[in-house]
Amino acid sequence: MELNNQLILGIESSCDDTAVAITRGFEVVASVINSQDVHEQFGGVVPEMASRSHIERIIPTLTEALKEAKLTLSEIDGIAFTQGPGLMGSLVVGTSFAKGLAMALNKPLVAVNHLHAHILSHFIQEEGMVAPVFPYLCLTVSGGHTQLVLVKSPMEMEILGKTIDDAAGEAFDKAGKMLGLPYPAGPIIDQLAENGNPNRFTFSIPKIAALDFSFSGLKTSILYFLKKATAENPLFIETQLFDLCASIQEAINTALIQKLKEAQKATGLSCIAISGGVSANQGLRNKLNEWKTQDPTLSFHVTHKKYCTDNAAMIAVTGNFLFETGSFATQKVAANARLPF
């Protein structure tokens, strides 16, 4: 991938992370993520609190990013921000801030689709990471989305399949809540699963037609299983936590890999990527490694763990692609919670 050296300021505020990054081409010069901890006590993101928290954090986050990059605002070549999809109140904060900055600094502005940014996060330059080659197949697994995408170019993407109910990250978080783990439970389940037996308990995930996914049945099956087990032994969760986490993780990852394999077969693509928060999961990464040993002709791409969950470097890098094609936004651009893919 050819590089140019423009400095892009990326702003991400779609959910509960206030993030600002500065990239030069595809290289990250600074990346600051201020995760909001106010939601932890509620077991999920409270939209109204998220937008208020973005307002408080956005200027300090920008200041920290500029300091980290040793740059001033006047040196920035352009501004990229998340237009959607996401929480409306949260998106409005980042969008208004980006528009205000672009106007005050007289810099070009680009509007980024958050999901495209997860998919293009593979182009963030990091030591030891190899970017995929177009066209590639990407499985995006985040807290709000689960989709299989044919990525023809940075601007041409086609959804091949998606979840018909819960997202994979949501499945991790809801299962974790039932186990008494704090939000977001995905990374904690990942850690605890390391010491557990993935084949100890069986949780079935319904088979869905074509390349779509379904995870809502999983929570019901976990709920009934835990109800019965804790009625017999009130200490069941506490004493079996490692095996429970490993087995739940195994069920989710098996469903994801199964569909990814079907999509690979259907498209014949040999370049495969995973992105989004759940792509940080070690169990999922291990499954990709197993697949690689079974079929060495395929190439697999994962983003560095720090860029799997929401960040602004992926917004800036996607902005870099948009700048190259001249896809600029005007001051009329508005946040869109349901921004089409």
Residues that bind Zn ion (CB under 5 A): 142, 310
Contact in structure between 260 and 137 (CB atoms under 8 Å):
yes
Contact status: 309 vs ligand KG4 (CB under 6 A): yes
- Least Å distance between CB 118 and Zn ion? 6
Q: Which does 309 bind (CB under 5 to 8 A by kind): Zn ion, ligand KG4, none?
A: ligand KG4
Q: Please tell me the distance from the alpha carbon of residue 110 to that of residue 132, in angstroms, as a whole number.
A: 23
- Least Å distance between CB 321 and ligand KG4? 19
- Least Å distance between CB 75 and ligand KG4? 29
Q: Which does 65 bind (CB under 5 to 8 A by kind): ligand KG4, Zn ion, none?
A: none
Among 25, 161, 184, 319, binds ligand KG4 (CB under 6 A): 184
Distances, alpha carbon 305 to alpha carbons 69, 285, 296, 300, in Å: 21, 11, 23, 15
Q: Please tell me the distance from the alpha carbon of residue 144 to that of residue 67, in angstroms, as a whole number.
A: 32
The two three-digit tokens of residue 334, written as one number? 């508005």
- Least Å distance between CB 279 and ligand KG4? 8
- Least Å distance between CB 285 and ligand KG4? 9
Provide the pairing of β-strand 299-302 with 271-275.
parallel
> Please, which residues have CB within 8 angstroms of residue 258's CB and are 6 or more apart in sequence?
none
Contact status: 278 vs ligand KG4 (CB under 6 A): yes
- Nearer Cβ to Zn ion, position 142 or 240? 142
- Nearer Cβ to ligand KG4, position 101 or 246? 246
- Nearer Cβ to Zn ion, position 47 or 198? 47
Q: Please tell me the distance from the alpha carbon of residue 133 to that of residue 102, in angstroms, as a whole number.
A: 32
Q: Please tell me the distance from the alpha carbon of residue 229 to that of residue 58, in angstroms, as a whole number.
A: 46
- Nearer Cβ to Zn ion, position 95 or 142? 142
Q: How many helices (H) and strands (E) does the chain have?
A: 9, 10
- Least Å distance between CB 16 and ligand KG4? 9
Q: Candidates 24-32, 92-100, 169-177, 288-296 — which segment interacts with ligand KG4 by CB under 6 A?
A: 169-177
Kindly report the length of the chain.
341
- Nearer Cβ to ligand KG4, position 78 or 144? 144
Q: Candidates 55-63, 87-95, 254-262, 277-285 — which segment interacts with ligand KG4 by CB under 6 A?
A: 277-285
Q: Candidates 52-60, 103-111, 178-186, 211-219 — which segment interacts with ligand KG4 by CB under 6 A?
A: 178-186
Q: Which does 169 bind (CB under 5 to 8 A by kind): Zn ion, ligand KG4, none?
A: ligand KG4
CB atoms within 10 A of CB 30: 21
> Please, which residues have CB within 8 angstroms of residue 67's CB and are 6 or more apart in sequence?
none
Query: Bridge-partner residues for 18, per DSSP?
Result: 34
For every residue of 4-19, DSSP letters joined together read ---EEEEEE-SSSEEE
Among 78, 144, 154, 319, binds ligand KG4 (CB under 6 A): 144
> Please, which residues have CB within 8 angstroms of residue 129's CB and are 6 or more apart in sequence?
122, 301, 303, 304
- Nearer Cβ to Zn ion, position 142 or 253? 142
- Least Å distance between CB 11 and ligand KG4? 15
Distances, alpha carbon 318 to alpha carbons 137, 144, 305, 314, in Å: 17, 20, 18, 6
Among 187, 248, 253, 307, binds ligand KG4 (CB under 6 A): 187
Residues making contact with ligand KG4 (CB under 6 A): 15, 142-144, 169, 172-173, 184-187, 190, 276-278, 280-281, 309-310
